[in-house]
Amino acid sequence: MRVDELPVDERIKRIIRERGIEELYPPQAEALMSGVLEGKNLVLAIPTASGKTLVSEIVMVNKLLREGGKAVYLVPLKALAEEKYREFKEWEVLGLRVAATTGDYDSTDEWLGRYDVIIATAEKFDSLLRHGSNWIEDVKLVVADEVHLIGSYDRGATLEMILSHMLGKAQILALSATVGNAEELAEWLDAALVMSDWRPVQLRKGVFHIGQLFWEDGGIDRYPENWESLAIDAVKKGKQALVFVNTRRSAEKEALSLSSKIARLLTKPETRQLDELVSSIEDNPTTEKLKRALRGGVAFHHAGLSRAERTMIEDAFRSKLIKVIVATPTLAAGVNTPAFRVIIRDTKRYAGFGWTDIPVLEIQQMMGRAGRPKYDKVGEAIIVARTEEPRRLMEKYIHGKPEKLFSMLANEQAFRSQILALVTNFRIGNFRELVSFLERTFYAHQRRDIASLEYKAKNVVYFLIENGFIDMDMNDRFMPLPFGKRSSQLYIDPLTAKKFKDAFPKLENNPNPFGIFQLIASTPDMATLNARRREMEDYLDLAYEMEDKLYTNIPYYEDSRFQGFLGQIKTAKVLLDWINEVPETRIYETYNIDPGDLYRILELADWLMYSLIELYRLFEPEEDVLNYLRDLHLRLRHGVREELLELVKLPNIGRKRARALYNAGFRSQEDIMRAKVRDLLEVEGIGMKVVEGLFRHFGVEMPKGAKKDSKKAEKARKGTLDAFLK
DNA sequence: CTAGGTGCCATTTAGACAGCATGTC
DNA sequence: CTAAATGGCACCTAG
């Protein structure tokens, strides 16, 4: 179908044509003619990169131009929210306003109600629903991207609840990967279903086994025995490859190994550009390996890397500078990084209780990354059979059907949080109303019988009543209590809230960082580190040494919680080091963790620390304890000792600069305000930009001649070894 | 004596959402 | 509890 023929606003067609699109892909046309444009719900189950985004853009903009109101676009990852934000921004020329909001990213500080398209993670939107903003009722359309995540164990319930809430109140457009039971999903949502395997770039799949590449169509190619030859061959052909493995260690190892072989295939300018890239990367034990791999045009990609490094790698891959990425599943679900050839080294994964097959759905998502729309006519996806029978892999992953989706609403952690929210934030007044709400869920639709769900719900309600989240009056009506309401708004697991509450008396008597950090780490919302075998004794010793600081007893070795407890101690120690200004690099080394891990721990601890304070405020807090907690929260956020808290509030001053200033004698904001520019510039890490920022912050004019001074100083430095090394 | 290979054994194992109020080195 | 891959280490061998 031609874009001209679309029954939508002319302005929409104009913008699409300006992108160079004249003709729609068949599944896009089918989707748009399914009734979505007239307001019908739609489940669109087609492969990644076959144009789902364009369909949702047309549906959103058409609806907004015609009816007004708001559209919400739900994504599973923060990084995807940013990606979509940049894409959708283009529609602002039509007078629509686009905003993205996630836990750590608001595109603007203006209130969301003023925007027409709101991109959010599912959890963020769930949280917005709980806060009950007025603009929610203006939402006329919800687009749920990657809706198959409804079947994800830990995050599926959130998505399911959002859709249950919005069903009937707004139009729903659900975008899904190919799944085993898309019909079931469509029935639940009372939606049309468009399914297709069509792709703009053809996909050729095969299985590799000791030098032989068996294509799905029966063809066989011969290669050197080792699978690495597949990646090398792609590079020789002037293409790129993406390799998926199942551990971080493997990703790093294979990247380094490939790097040494691919280095010689690079051109001189490429080598130079790669060197440039390498020099822009921060130094730490993980990036040291990354840099070595990069020099050969190869990168590894996993959650241990920082955000900045990950985006850098993705960008350099997209611009074809990096030839091969060896990645853990991070990349399969993340932002768009297609490659000519996808090589799947592993089809099994350790899942806490042994090795399990990676689901077909996920393998197909990896394979779907094959083929770059603008450069390739065909993309190749190859599964490597190393220990597995090649024929089995072919049957299961290439000819096989993806799994069915199952509701994960009954997952206890998610369920108790959702039930609490229903009572405290969604005016569910008694058990009957609760059950009738649950009847609208995918769980109920799929199982038909919700007796077991009712039983679970009852237990959760008892738990919530017993622990003071909610209460029940004489007529069996639910009454939200402040503790429950706040827990729900803070978006923490009720069990986390209970743990905090139970610890308050002890905490009040003995407030101290280690005890608080262990408490936070013991919470189901925290990601704790694992104590390694050889570390276990050290952390046990540490626990005993700090026994009087803890708010919990040390479990015995036989106790099932023992292993977890040591992990909590390790996590608490990392946090303690952080607020005692131990340099990041040393933290990575001593605890054998990667930058991404530290970042994640800090992010979670920050959120939970805030939540702990907010909950403590509900229980007749002691003023000095409250202040102590607030200071600790700030220390946690900035990674500094107490004496730096004042300095770190200044713009562009973090833990390093604050320490440098303090050691140089600038101990308060007052000191800095009075300081001479020249003296400030002497301090390590403080340059003209930072000083200007400081003066602007204080609202003071820069002393005359200061700028000249600094230029002079810089000139003087020119020609020195220092300047040369820069 | 040493560089490199072999075999055995212990150890480890993917990812990432949420509050709130503003800006790291 | 499950099991595959990896890295460290002791030991061995060819030169």
**What string of H, E and C letters represents the secondary structure of A471-523?**
EECCCCCEEECHHHHHHHHHCCCHHHHHHHHHHHHHHHHCCCHHHHHHHHHCC
Who among residues 212-251 of A has its Cβ near strand C, under 7 Å? 247, 249-250
CA of A333 to C1' of B15 (A): 10
CA–C1' gap, A273 and B10, in angstroms: 42
Name the residues in A156-185 having a C-beta closer than 7 Å to nucleic acid strand C: none
pLDDT at A719: 40
Looking at residue A103, its pLDDT comes to: 85
For nucleotide B15, the protein residue with its alpha carbon nearest to C1' is: A330
Length A329 CA → B14 C1' (Å): 6
Q: A3-195: what CATH class?
A: alpha beta
- Of A108, A112, A12, A93, nearest to A55 by C-alpha is A12
Q: Which CATH fold topology does A494-639 show?
A: Sec63 N-terminal domain-like fold (1.10.3380)
Strands A171-176 and A139-144 turn out to be: parallel
Residues 6+ apart with CB under 8 A from A184: A404, A405, A445, A446
> Please, what CATH class does the domain formed by A665-725 belong to?
mainly alpha
Comparing C-alpha atoms, which of A216, A587, A579, A154 is closest to residue A394? A216
Place of tokens 């770039």: A201
Query: Does residue A277 contact residue A316 with C-beta atoms inside 8 Å?
Result: yes
Residue A253: CB less than 7 A from any atom in strand C: yes
Decide: CB of A350 under 7 A of nucleic strand C. yes
The DSSP secondary-structure symbol of A42 reads E
Instruction: Judge contact between A629 and A519, C-beta under 8 A.
Output: no
Lookup: nucleotide whose C1' is closest to A251 CA: B14
Which tokens belong to A289?
């390996």
A591 CB neighbours strand B below 7 A: no
Burial class (CB in 10 A: 0-12, 13-18, 19+), A349: middle
Alpha-carbon span A397 to A389, nearest angstrom: 12
| Interatomic CA–C1' length for residue A569 and nucleotide C10, angstroms | 35
Residues of A from 495 to 554 whose C-beta is within 7 A of strand B: which are they? Answer: 525, 527, 530, 532-534
Closest nt to residue A352, judged CA to C1': B13
The arrangement of strands across the sheet holding A70-75 comes to: A105-106, A98-102, A117-121, A70-75, A139-144, A171-176, A41-45, A191-195
| Nearest-angstrom CA–CA distance, A154 and A242 | 27
Q: What is the pLDDT at residue A106?
A: 67
Please check if A28 is assigned to a binding site. Answer: yes
DSSP A370: B
Please identify residues in chain A, positions 658-677, with a C-beta within 7 angstroms of any atom of strand B.
658
Q: Are strands A212-215 and A98-102 parallel, antiparallel or unpaired?
A: unpaired
Q: Whole-number Å distance, CA A259 to C1' B2?
A: 29
A536 closest-nt by C1' vs CA: B11
Phi, psi of A196 (to 5 degrees): -170, 155
Question: For the purposes of burial, counting CB atoms within 10 Å of the CB of A624, is it exposed (0-12), middle (13-18) or buried (19 or more)?
Answer: exposed
Written as six digits, the tokens of A538 are: 């050290």
Q: Are A240 and A341 in contact (CB under 8 A)?
A: yes
Q: How far is the CA of A296 from the C1' of B3 (A)?
A: 27
A202-399 CATH, one of 3.40.50.300, 1.10.132.20, 3.90.600.10, 1.10.10.10: 3.40.50.300
Determine contact, residues A449/A170, Cβ cutoff 8 Å: no
User: Any idea which nucleotide's C1' is nearest the CA of A346?
Assistant: C4
Give CA–CA dist A542/A388, Å, rounded.
44
Query: What residues are paired with A242 via a beta bridge?
Result: A325, A342
Spacing of A396 CA from C2 C1' in Å: 22
Protein-contacted positions of strand C (CB under 7 Å): 1-7
Residue nearest to nucleotide B21 (CA to C1'): A109
pLDDT digits (tens, 9 = 90+) for A63-122: 999 999 999 999 999 999 999 999 999 999 999 999 999 987 766 656 788 899 999 999
What is d(CA A49, CA A286) in angstroms, rounded to the nearest whole number? 32
Judge residue A238's burial from the number of C-beta atoms within 10 Å of its C-beta, 0-12 exposed, 13-18 middle, 19 or more buried.
Answer: exposed
Positions in chain A short of pLDDT 50 = 708, 712, 714-726
Give the containing element (helix H, strand E) for A115.
none
Tracing tokens 């059950």 back to the chain, one arrives at A435
Q: How far apart are CA A41 and CA A189, in angstroms?
A: 7
A441: CB within 7 A of chain C nucleic strand: no
A697 closest-nt by C1' vs CA: B23
For chain A, which residues make up each domain, given as ranges?
3-195, 202-399, 412-490, 494-639, 665-725
A67 burial type by CB count under 10 A (0-12 exposed, 13-18 middle, 19+ buried): exposed
Residue A110 CB neighbour total at 10 angstroms = 11
What span, in angstroms and rounded, lies between the C-alpha atoms of A267 and A85? 36
Which of the nucleotides lies closest to A355 (Cα–C1')?
Answer: C3
Same CATH fold assignment for domains A202-399 and A665-725: no
Helix, coil or strand: residue A460: helix
Considering only CA atoms, which residue is closest to the C1' of nucleotide B20?
Answer: A610
Strand C contacted by A353 CB (< 7 A): yes
Q: Is the CB of A652 under 7 A from strand B?
A: yes
Contacts 24+ apart (CB under 8 A), A418-422: A418/A157, A418/A158, A418/A161, A419/A457, A419/A460, A419/A461, A419/A464, A420/A460, A420/A464, A420/A469, A420/A470, A420/A484, A420/A487, A420/A488, A420/A494, A421/A126, A421/A130, A421/A161, A421/A488
Is the domain covering A412-490 a CATH 1.10.10.10 domain?
A: yes
Residue A41, both tokens: 């719900």
Query: Does strand C come within 7 Å of the CB of A525?
Result: no
Q: Considering only CA atoms, which residue is closest to the C1' of nucleotide C1?
A: A353
Q: Cβ(A342)–Cβ(A241) under 8 Å?
A: yes
Paired residues of A470 in beta bridges: A480
Protein-nucleic contacts, chain A 88-107 to strand B, CB < 7 Å: 102-106
CA A116/CA A138 separation, integer angstroms: 9
User: Using an 8 Å Cβ cutoff, are A78 and A101 in contact?
Assistant: no
Burial class (CB in 10 A: 0-12, 13-18, 19+), A217: exposed
CA of A67 to C1' of B23 (A): 38
Q: Could you give the dihedral angle defined by the CA atoms of residues A47, A144, A124 and A439, in that order, rounded to the nearest 10 degrees?
A: -130
